[in-house]
Structure 1
Amino acid sequence: MKHRARLLMSSLAAALALVIAPAVSAQQVEGIVALVNDQPITTVDVRNRMRMIIASSGQQPSPEAIERIQEQAVRGLIDETLQLQAAAEFDVDVDAAEVDQAIDDIAERNGTTRAQIQQELAAAGVDISTLRRQLEAEIAWQIIVSGRYGSRIRVSNQQIEAALERIAASASQPQYYIAEIFLELTSAGGEERLQQQATAALNALREGAPFQVVAQQFSAAPSAANGGEVGWVLGGQLRPEVEQVAQVLQPGQLSRPIRVPGGYMIIAMIQKREGTTTVQYDLTQVTVPTSAVTDTTADEMRRALEQASCENVDSAISGVPGAFATPLGEIPASSLLPNIRDALTGLDTGDHTQVLETAAGRQAFLVCERSIGGPGMPTRDDVEEQLRGQQLSNQSRRWLRDLRREATIEYR
């Protein structure tokens, strides 16, 4: 990294003083805090960003909190500058209408309007251009990350199947409607500093700061764009360390900062419900009607079934007098007769039942597919989209780390 890092805290003393006392003129405090590839970040930029963070939290910060907010503001401005520089290299421009729409989306999630947001920022001494620049960088970055990596991301059928099996296995476990804040660990701050930031974020939330606003300002997760809201998740979709905490949280409660790979996570439990498991089969039925049953029918069926699959069943049973196959399609286990349901217990895809004596004659059932589900189970498309999103998010973080490492960043 080509950082010439000479971060002198005193260089921002004037800006810090003006976080609480915005009446001092800009001319008195104008200065350069950092150069990012020769592009300046000024004390005015930092001051406005700090005020916006403080206004968003709704809390009066302590001196220690102001120092952390300063670091967050400077780091955020550096990242946004790098993102906008990268967007310029790809000739990506974000027009005013796109930024307006992003502000409208924020307003809708928070039950307010764009005009009210502008008024609230102005009351805190923050020009609306501060928020617009932040959103412009977010939008531009999403566009170029998607353009650069979107076509390269491949989610295999094996990955989808593995995820579905893991989720299905946990379908009977509690299900959670959560929101999240992910604070990313970087080389700039270190573990101890990030832990302090996570604790400060949690304290702000406990003191009444809106979760959505804190997530939008601080979270590095893709869900930050939605105020941290993740929605319903099954136990199998959460990391084990997060699942362990979620199990004991009640609706309305916040978690402690949870150490996860790459940083710390705070979750808010919005709703919680017990899971219920449903089993569904895709079956093919093999029948020898009563009129064709002989003393050897059961043995003949058993031998034929050993060679049968859902694809070749007609040819496999062709030597059994009177036998015919009927695809039944997808059937919930609860809709089957008890004796058939019992015969299917423990069987998996590709298996078959023993030969059963029924009112229709002699019957057996081939399991073409068996699936486990329940309320809230994601579809295959949902899982694929989630896996793609995770990969794209990982690529985004790696690229931004590369940009930081390769940039010339000089602190004044």
Structure 2
Amino acid sequence: MKFAPMAVLFLAVALAALPSPGRAQEMDRIAAVVNDDIISLRDLEGRIKLALAVSNLPDTVENRRRLLPQVMRKLIDEHLQMQEARRVKLQVGAEDINRAIATIEKQNRMPPGGLLAQLARAGVDPSAVRDQVRADIAWLRVIGRLLQPTVRVGEEEITDRLETLRQQIGRPEYLLAEIELPFDTPAQEQEARHLGERLLDQLKSGAPFQALARQFSQSGSASNGGMLGWISEINLDEDWREPVAALQKGQVSPLIRTGSGYTILTLVNQRIAGVSGEPDAMSLYRLVFPTPTGKPPPQEQLIAKARDMTAAAKDCDAMEDIGGELNSPKSQRIDNVRPQALPPEVARAVDGLAIGKASAPVPGPDGISVYMVCSGGGNAGLPSRGQIRQQIEEERTELLARRHIRDLRRAAFVDFRL
């Protein structure tokens, strides 16, 4: 996607300075058509205000000009994601959006309602926030419905990965978060580099990394604030190894040029890999989707509902909120339990499950259960085979998700009206 320089400048000025009623009339203009969906100047204005507020940039014509291409690209992707969700008959309700916003508020230690209130004071329309969250949830559900079931990991692959990790005992492991700014053309490369430089400036000024990742990163980790989980030194991308090795806990990397774009990393934590004994006791949350009375739908339909409703849950509080919405009295937190004490089907569901990630649905006599590890369960040594399987599955799913959105872009009809 490329805008002519004069078109970008005109739009930046129009969005920033048109007086009423001329401005109101201008806002109703069509900025772009994505297949059968329309992006209006009003939509674009709302997202630019959101991007300015999140990145703590002054509202100037120059800043709007620099943000415009990335904001438009993200809006186009979101329309494609929502169209794909509708194609496979996935819906995102108001309660799903409310839960996701509540999770963001908890992660940032904000009071309930604090996020939208803070952005409203900066002039951001709450609908711009809700639309973005809706698209994030929809895309996670598309990935869960279409892509994750196609991923297969063989036992030999797990053994090879474990052997590689065994050779790394005593070496560092990193808990990282990312902001990924990909590009396909030289013009997009310049846009991505300029945006990355601006984001680095804002991070140095104290802007929260996770908030910027949600707004600007184009990786699958964006909806989770860019969090990547623990990565061993040997599994780091070659372009990342030297910058990551130079980081201290809490520091942010320079802008890293990779084969597909630019990346900014932050080191959340660091540890040394080593062998340990029994896994620690853990705290779990069990979310039960009761079987409807009367003539229940097919089990496959109930499992799909459970998977869709929990795909965006990032902690046990979010799972508890879903349990309250379902009015599910059998949903509960299970504290201080060791893996070997769990029933076999539950142990299999949580084996290697990362903290804050929903398990696959587990059918049972009282309904469909989904589990989440709230805390504990850690193993300071080598990961279990289940954890390795999950890691490889997530890597492949992320690769498939990138290819899928790229294919949707290539097949889309996008008509710019600027």
Aligned partner of 1:260 among 249, 252, 258? 258
RMSD: 2.8
Determine if the alignment matches structure 1 residue 386 to structure 2 residue 405: no
Matches within 5 A, 1:3-402: 8-10=7-9, 12-17=11-16, 26-60=24-58, 63-187=61-185, 189-276=187-274, 375=380, 377-402=382-407
Give the TM-score, by structure 1 length.
Answer: 0.70
Equivalent position SS for 2:380: coil
Alignment correspondent of 1:411: 416
Moved more, 212-221 or 179-188: 179-188
The answer to whether the Cα contact below 8 Å between 1:18 and 1:24 also exists between their aligned partners in 2 is: no
Q: How much does 1:22 deviate?
A: 10
One-letter amino acid matched to 1:146: G
Q: How much does 1:134 deviate?
A: 0.9
Q: Give me the whole-angstrom Cα distance separating, in 2, the residues matched to 1:31 and 1:188.
A: 29
One-letter amino acid matched to 2:127: S
After superposition, the C-alpha distances for 1:139-184 in whole angstroms (9 at most, x for unaligned) are: 1122122212222111122222222222222221123232221222
Q: Give me the whole-angstrom Cα distance separating, in 1, the residues matched to 2:400 and 2:16.
A: 38
Q: Give me the whole-angstrom Cα distance separating, in 1, the residues matched to 2:178 and 2:20.
A: 32
Distance 1:22 1:46, change over 3 A: farther
Q: Give me the whole-angstrom Cα distance separating, in 1, the residues matched to 2:394 and 2:105.
A: 25
Q: How much does 1:101 deviate?
A: 0.7
Equivalent position SS for 2:39: strand
The answer to whether the Cα contact below 8 Å between 2:257 and 2:263 also exists between their aligned partners in 1 is: yes
Q: How much does 1:221 deviate?
A: 2.5
- In structure 2, runs of 5+ residues without a counterpart are 279-378
The answer to whether the Cα contact below 8 Å between 1:6 and 1:410 also exists between their aligned partners in 2 is: no
Q: How much does 1:197 deviate?
A: 2.1
- In structure 1, runs of 5+ residues without a counterpart are 281-373
Q: How much does 1:238 deviate?
A: 1.5
After superposition, the C-alpha distances for 1:361-380 in whole angstroms (9 at most, x for unaligned) are: xxxxxxxxxxxxx8353222
One-letter amino acid matched to 1:27: Q
The answer to whether the Cα contact below 8 Å between 1:177 and 1:231 also exists between their aligned partners in 2 is: yes
The answer to whether the Cα contact below 8 Å between 1:5 and 1:410 also exists between their aligned partners in 2 is: no
Q: Give me the whole-angstrom Cα distance separating, in 1, the residues matched to 2:21 and 2:237.
A: 47
Q: Give me the whole-angstrom Cα distance separating, in 2, the residues matched to 1:247 and 1:52.
A: 34
Q: Give me the whole-angstrom Cα distance separating, in 2, the residues matched to 1:104 and 1:400.
A: 27
The answer to whether the Cα contact below 8 Å between 1:37 and 1:408 also exists between their aligned partners in 2 is: yes
The answer to whether the Cα contact below 8 Å between 2:80 and 2:409 also exists between their aligned partners in 1 is: yes
Q: Percent identity?
A: 33
Distance 1:159 1:264, change over 3 A: farther
One-letter amino acid matched to 2:8: M
The answer to whether the Cα contact below 8 Å between 2:220 and 2:401 also exists between their aligned partners in 1 is: no
The answer to whether the Cα contact below 8 Å between 2:55 and 2:199 also exists between their aligned partners in 1 is: no
Distance 1:27 1:190, change over 3 A: closer
Equivalent position SS for 1:397: helix
Distance 1:108 1:13, change over 3 A: same
Equivalent position SS for 1:68: helix
Distance 1:156 1:92, change over 3 A: same
Moved more, 63-72 or 43-52: 63-72
The answer to whether the Cα contact below 8 Å between 1:59 and 1:209 also exists between their aligned partners in 2 is: no
The answer to whether the Cα contact below 8 Å between 1:180 and 1:265 also exists between their aligned partners in 2 is: yes
Q: Give me the whole-angstrom Cα distance separating, in 1, the residues matched to 2:27 and 2:43.
A: 11
Larger Rg: 1
Q: How much does 1:279 deviate?
A: 11
Q: Give me the whole-angstrom Cα distance separating, in 2, the residues matched to 1:35 and 1:188.
A: 24
Moved more, 210-219 or 194-203: 194-203
Using CA pairs under 8 Å that are at least 6 residues apart, name the structure with larger relative contact order, 1 or 2. 1
Equivalent position SS for 1:111: coil
Q: Give me the whole-angstrom Cα distance separating, in 2, the residues matched to 1:109 and 1:188.
A: 37
Give the TM-score, by structure 2 length.
Answer: 0.69
Q: How many residues align?
A: 316
Equivalent position SS for 2:113: helix
Q: Give me the whole-angstrom Cα distance separating, in 2, the residues matched to 1:82 and 1:116.
A: 30
